[in-house]
A and B are shown apart, each in its own frame.
Chain A
């Protein structure tokens, strides 16, 4: 109660602010939070599969965890993922924002944001030729016409955008 001591385990003191040493090439981190990452994950999987697999193979074959050996592959992975996010931001910013905001409000459950997802997938496929595909299944669950599991309340902005897109298509 009467203790006026400053906290000694302050987390701001425990962060090492030094940048990476100059011998190792720098790469910009992706810098996206969970919802945008979940939103673009399948497109990252589509475009960056070779880099991702190469990185995981390197990690697998390294003697220890491969932290230092696989830096090069890791930079490639990050650069590729950044390129996907940048491209989607340039080409499909509206539907992308709609989808990740919906995910943010829906506990990251993809089935609760199907309407926004349909718009995003369509845009990304037209502009970037990236497709969402779940491997090793007969039926792609995100394309199911009458799903049993539906959101109790649909995300309002995505419903409005979806209906608008539908109207434009018909007219």
Chain B
């Protein structure tokens, strides 16, 4: 009994892959471009961050050099108000009042109450 066999030369090749022309560069080149762009971006960013930090440092040192001056002026004003409050209290209440301190810790406190002239 004769059977249905493949042809003697074999079957013709089947085209299983589409013939699409390859576009663009090799993947490695795209990778390199990507890394290069990112690298430059990070370089610029980090430089900017460093410069910003130095500018901030400049501002802070400028303030540090001024701080004693500002504190001294403020202290002098507080002391002036403190002694004047004391003087006025003595005028009103006599010499019995020697100090305006409310707390017993002996610390200097900024005068809270303002003097109103009326």
Using a CB–CB cutoff of 8 Å, the interface residues on chain A facing chain B are 13-16, 18-21, 24, 27, 29-30, 37-38, 41-42, 44-45, 48, 51-52, 55-56, 59, 63-68, 70-71, 73-75, 77-78, 81, 109-111, 134-135, 137, 139, 141-142, 144, 147-149
Closest to B69 in A: A81
Q: Is B47 an interface residue (CB 8 A)?
A: yes
Whether A42 contacts B106 by the Cβ 8 Å rule is no
New A-B pairs, 16, CB < 8 Å, besides A16-B80, A30-B73? A13-B118, A20-B83, A21-B84, A41-B65, A41-B66, A42-B65, A45-B61, A52-B69, A64-B105, A65-B108, A67-B75, A67-B108, A71-B75, A74-B68, A110-B59, A144-B51
Q: Is B62 an interface residue (CB 8 A)?
A: yes
CA distance in complex: A41, B64 (Å): 9
CA distance in complex: A24, B115 (Å): 21
Among B15-59, those with CB < 8 Å from A are 47-48, 51-52, 54-55, 57-59
Question: Which of A38, A45, A77 is B72 in contact with, Cβ under 8 Å?
Answer: A77
User: Which residues on the A side are within 8 Å of B115 (C-beta)?
Assistant: 14, 16
User: Which residues on the A side are within 8 Å of B84 (C-beta)?
Assistant: 16, 18, 21
Whether B87 contacts A42 by the Cβ 8 Å rule is no
Whether B75 contacts A74 by the Cβ 8 Å rule is yes
Question: Which of B55, B59, B61, B73 is A78 in contact with, Cβ under 8 Å?
Answer: B73
CA distance in complex: A20, B73 (Å): 12
CA distance in complex: A67, B76 (Å): 7
Question: Which of B54, B62, B67, B116 is A137 in contact with, Cβ under 8 Å?
Answer: B54
User: Which residues on the A side are within 8 Å of B73 (C-beta)?
Assistant: 29-30, 74, 78
Q: What class of interface size applies to chain B in its complex with A?
A: 35 or more
Given contacts A45-B61, A67-B79, A78-B72, contact A147 B51 (CB under 8 A): yes
Question: Which of A16, A70, A74, A144 is B81 in contact with, Cβ under 8 Å?
Answer: A16
Whether A20 contacts B76 by the Cβ 8 Å rule is yes
Closest to A69 in B: B108
Encoded as 1 (CB less than 8 Å from any A CB) or 0, chain B from 73 to 97 comes to 1011011111111010000000000
User: Which residues on the A side are within 8 Å of B68 (C-beta)?
Assistant: 48, 51-52, 55-56, 74, 77
29 contacts across the A-B interface (CB closer than 8 A): A13-B114, A13-B116, A13-B117, A16-B81, A18-B84, A20-B83, A30-B73, A37-B66, A41-B63, A44-B69, A45-B61, A52-B65, A64-B106, A65-B107, A65-B108, A71-B76, A74-B68, A74-B71, A74-B73, A110-B58, A110-B62, A111-B55, A137-B57, A139-B54, A141-B51, A141-B57, A147-B51, A149-B48, A149-B52
Question: Which of B65, B71, B87, B114 is A59 in contact with, Cβ under 8 Å?
Answer: B71
